[in-house]
Structure 1
Amino acid sequence: MKTVFMGRLFKGAAAVAATLILAACSLAPAYKVPAAPEDAAFKEASPSWSQETATALDGSTWKAATPSEESARGEWWKIFNDAVLDNFERQALEANQDLKAAAARVKEARALNQVARSAFFPNVDAGLGATRQQPSAASQGLPDGARVQPSTVYRAQSSVSYEVDLFGRVASGVDVAKANTQRSEALFRSVQLALQADVAQNYFALRELDAEAEVYAHAVALREDGLKLLKSRYAEGDISEVDVLRAETELSTARSAAMTAQRLRAASEHSLAILLGKTPAEFSMPASPLQAVNLRIPAGLPSSLLERRPDIAAAERAMAAANAQIGVARSAFFPSLSLTGTGGFESSSFGNLFRWSSRSFLLGPLTGTALSLPIFDGGKRRGDLANAKATLEEQAATYQQQVLSAFREVEDNLSTLRILENQTQTQDKAVASASKAASLLRIQYDEGQTNYLDVLDAQRTVLNARRDAVQLQGLQAIATVNLIRALGGGWDDTANVKPVATR
């Protein structure tokens, strides 16, 4: 008898051990992130950019941006040392609706992760109720016409159900939910970085238009003074009416260009208002002409780019979720085991319901186990598995493309800034030369050595040169923001830099 008992005990222990081993396994394939480019340095990162300082042809000083621990991580815009921009960034982070929507998506993902993790635990329910029944006479073995009294049964019961994770279906589902949550968090950071960059870009675009307006205002004032002088000389008979008409044309053209700048500024101001979570009627920004932004952003190593870019992190987490989903699809081919049980009290009278003699219980079939084995489903499981594998292939390709796009964006902005540095210096020389030529031609015209058409051409050249110089400064500021955005908004261990001197 003892031998039989020990044999049954051994078999039972073996069954429990086998169940636990099966529950610990996962059918998801081993996860591996695709290999990324292993370049030692960015192609467009000029060696001269590693210098601490550099002096331009016009005497202005450039400095390499250096990390700072003075501000909270992520406040990269403080590199520009602009209190107005700092305030706008704060307002955008507090009120932008796109960012609030992204934050809500993170909450949704975390809630779904909590739902998935609940499958690790049993479900316990409790209830209290009554049923009234009148069985037929035939069911009680009584003759036809016999009267059977109805009865009432009161029940207070609790039920427990639990799915044993035999082949890792629950664990893989939790891995899917966890990866999706991490992906949502990375996407939130990506939206946040995009918002910060958009605010800075719109702010600098607005200030660049203010600088353009300043150039046009100077040109209009110069042409108004010139027109007054020409009208006076025409009245005295010193010049023909043609010179006056040409001067009036140039003045109207300059005024029209100034109006174009005003129109573009209004639209830019409205865009900035929306980014700050305000209506255009609620927001206005005083004119503040842009000054040159002379910063050299350290690009760091290409390998660190994969750690800084939130969109790359989101793509990688989507790939991890797709990998875990294969485990869920594979587990559907194997049996599932559910444990169920109900216990409580039942009585024909409510007063006796909670007596010890009223206790009752009910276990599922096979002493509380329910083993379900899939046999035929018309190919549904195979289709689900094929879909999961194809999704993983898609996410892997998306991840690799995201990495390539990130490298391209960094290289594009590095080359843009490097070329703009030389271009702005060249344009400054062009402005100086054009201004000097215009001044000399005006003197020659006053002395009768040249005609007024040459003066107008020279003034037009000065206006275009100054406008181009201002636009290049705007492009320089925006390209600096774009490079920071392409780098993920940070520098190695910090996301902030100290402000540096500008021209």
Structure 2
Amino acid sequence: MKVFVMNRMLFGSVWLATMLVTAGCSLAPNYEKPEVTTPQAYKEQKAPTPLGSVEAGNWKTAEPSEAFARGEWWRVFNDTTLDHLESQARDANQNLVAAAARLKEARALNQSARSALFPTVDAGFGPTRQRVSPASQFQSDSGQGASQTMWRAQGGVSYEVDMFGRVASSVDAADAETQRSEALFQSVLLALQADVAQNYFALRELDAEVLVYNRAIELREQALKLVQQQYSLGDTSELDVARAESELATAQSDAMTIQRLRAASEHSLAVLLGKAPAEFSMAASPLQPVNLRIPPGLPSSLLERRPDIAAAERSMAAANARIGVAKAAFFPSLTLTGTAGFESGSLSNLFKWSSRTFLLGPLAGTALDLPIFDGGLREGNLAKARADYEEDVANYRQQVLVAFREVEDNLSDLRVLEEQTLTQSRAVEASSRAAKVARAQYTEGDVIYLSVIDAERTALQSRRAAVQLQGAQVAATVNLIRALGGGWGSASAVKNQEVTQR
């Protein structure tokens, strides 16, 4: 008998020791970020700076760094109106409010997942009225069953021992999902800031186009008066008058088209600011050339700056942790439960010491559950978790490639636009000179009016193209900043150290 008791004690001690050793051991694979091909410099970078000995020694594999301050990057444009608009958008944009709500939801889910690390405690109080059947009292069916009222005041506790890391892996997945939501919020914020800047500069570009058309209308009004005078003197035909009237009406119609586009652009900007279009208007302010050169830095730093890349990386980490949750389902689970309190047939005797009661262990079922057969459910869940992780790895690598492409696209745009703007400036100067010469020659009777029309059309198209190139240049600058992941800390640091004038 003593040997039997000792064997039971030994078995119990070994079992308890095993439970303590396995508690909290995660079955999730060791998480390592997948390798991605990172060039040492951008293809479109004009003069890639070679790594010096110090910088080369500090060069490292990029890691997501959502804590890195992006700063108010739009201040590099030195535009107080834009600064004010960005502040309004940050405070009132509804897409950003929705993203903030999603972040709150992720944090709430994280809190729910973490609650499994702690025991649950509850308490209850109340009466129970019960009548049992005669058969349950081993009496005949014609007998009288007993009735009774039971008063209970009890507290209960339940705790799942995390033997194989199911709870820990669930918490790790929830932590990664929360960080992913934080990165997505930053991505929405960056997109909003860039959209506001692009819409603002697009609006100012349209203002500049309106200015070009207004000047063209003035010149064509003057030309029409000149043609009408010459027609009244018999020096020209009615055809020239009709052509001058047509050119004037065409310019006026094109100017109205620009006004229509400007109204739509202003409405879009109002929505970005969280306002109804009727509540927002912006005074005309023609776009001025923006001559900024944004340094792209090392390609490896892009992986640390882009919030969408950080979100994709955190999604991988969450999927990796969920593999551990799926693996833990193959092993036993241990739940410790207990209740204690008072139970009495009358309320007056409920809290007497003799009315105390307790229960250790589950009221129904067992404390230790061992899965045996489920028709392949666990195998399917594990295979799905692994497939989800593989998908997230592919999405991460693809996001990195897209990020590199976006940076290269905007670098090439800025490189070509810089040269194209200079070329177009020469075209504007030449076409304006040609239009002036054509008007003078027509006044002298050396050329027909059709030559004046062609020269003025060319001059108008050149001026408008120049304005559009200025708009494309500032849009590419904003897009490059967005592709690089935002700002660089404080605005003063950007202006003094990194942004240079072209």
Q: Are positions 1:79 and 2:80 aligned together?
A: no
Distance, in Å, in 2 between the alignment partners of 1:366 and 1:290 is 77
Superposed CA offset, 1:231-255 (max 9, x none):
0111011112122111111111111
Counterpart in 2 of 1:354? 351
- Partner amino acid, structure 1, of 2:115: S
SS in 2 for 1:340: strand
Counterpart in 1 of 2:411? 414
CA deviation after TM superposition for structure 1 residue 139, in Å: 3.8
Counterpart in 2 of 1:187? 184
Distance, in Å, in 1 between the alignment partners of 2:73 and 2:491 is 9
Counterpart in 2 of 1:42? 42
Query: Which residue of 289, 303, 306 corresponds with 1:306?
Result: 303
C-alpha contact (below 8 Å) 1:292/1:502 kept by paired residues: no
SS in 2 for 1:43: coil
C-alpha contact (below 8 Å) 1:435/1:462 kept by paired residues: yes
Counterpart in 1 of 2:28? 28
Q: Are positions 1:17 and 2:11 aligned together?
A: no
Moved more, 306-315 or 30-39: 30-39
TM-score by length of 2: 0.91
Distance, in Å, in 2 between the alignment partners of 1:166 and 1:49 is 53
Counterpart in 1 of 2:132? 135
SS in 2 for 1:259: helix
Distance, in Å, in 2 between the alignment partners of 1:387 and 1:372 is 24
Distance, in Å, in 1 between the alignment partners of 2:337 and 2:203 is 67
Distance, in Å, in 1 between the alignment partners of 2:455 and 2:365 is 97
Query: Which residue of 313, 323, 339 corresponds with 2:336?
Result: 339
Counterpart in 2 of 1:254? 251
| Gaps in structure 2 of 5+ consecutive residues | 51-68
C-alpha contact (below 8 Å) 2:27/2:327 kept by paired residues: yes
TM-score by length of 1: 0.90
Moved more, 395-404 or 27-36: 27-36
Counterpart in 1 of 2:441? 444
Counterpart in 2 of 1:318? 315
Superposed CA offset, 1:167-203 (max 9, x none):
1111111111111111111001000000000000011
Counterpart in 1 of 2:216? 219
CA deviation after TM superposition for structure 1 residue 12, in Å: 4.6
Distance, in Å, in 2 between the alignment partners of 1:285 and 1:421 is 29
Superposed CA offset, 1:56-106 (max 9, x none):
xxxxxxxxxxxxxxxx84210001000111111111111111000000000
Distance, in Å, in 1 between the alignment partners of 2:234 and 2:422 is 45
CA deviation after TM superposition for structure 1 residue 451, in Å: 2.1
CA deviation after TM superposition for structure 1 residue 446, in Å: 2.0
Distance, in Å, in 1 between the alignment partners of 2:141 and 2:288 is 105
Query: Which residue of 207, 227, 231 corresponds with 1:230?
Result: 227
- Partner amino acid, structure 2, of 1:484: I
C-alpha contact (below 8 Å) 1:28/1:325 kept by paired residues: yes
Query: Which residue of 462, 467, 492 corresponds with 2:464?
Result: 467
Distance 1:148 1:205, change over 3 A: closer
C-alpha contact (below 8 Å) 1:74/1:496 kept by paired residues: no
1:354-373 to structure 2, matched below 5 A, reads 354-364=351-361, 370-373=367-370
CA deviation after TM superposition for structure 1 residue 490, in Å: 2.3
Counterpart in 2 of 1:160? 157
Distance 1:127 1:48, change over 3 A: closer
CA deviation after TM superposition for structure 1 residue 31, in Å: 1.1
CA deviation after TM superposition for structure 1 residue 17, in Å: 2.9
Superposed CA offset, 1:391-449 (max 9, x none):
11111100000000000000000000011001001111111111112222222222222
Distance 1:131 1:249, change over 3 A: same
C-alpha contact (below 8 Å) 1:154/1:350 kept by paired residues: yes
Distance 1:159 1:437, change over 3 A: same
Superposed CA offset, 1:101-120 (max 9, x none):
00000000000000000001
CA deviation after TM superposition for structure 1 residue 468, in Å: 0.2
Give me the identity figure in percent. 67
CA deviation after TM superposition for structure 1 residue 383, in Å: 1.1
C-alpha contact (below 8 Å) 1:78/1:497 kept by paired residues: no
C-alpha contact (below 8 Å) 2:75/2:491 kept by paired residues: no
Superposed CA offset, 1:101-148 (max 9, x none):
000000000000000000011111100121223334454455676556
Query: Which residue of 383, 386, 396 corresponds with 1:386?
Result: 383
Query: Which residue of 276, 279, 282 corresponds with 2:279?
Result: 282
- Partner amino acid, structure 2, of 1:451: I
CA deviation after TM superposition for structure 1 residue 257, in Å: 1.1
C-alpha contact (below 8 Å) 2:71/2:490 kept by paired residues: no
Superposed CA offset, 1:268-305 (max 9, x none):
11111110111111111111100011100010000000
Distance, in Å, in 2 between the alignment partners of 1:400 and 1:173 is 25
Distance 1:34 1:148, change over 3 A: closer
Distance, in Å, in 2 between the alignment partners of 1:78 and 1:466 is 29
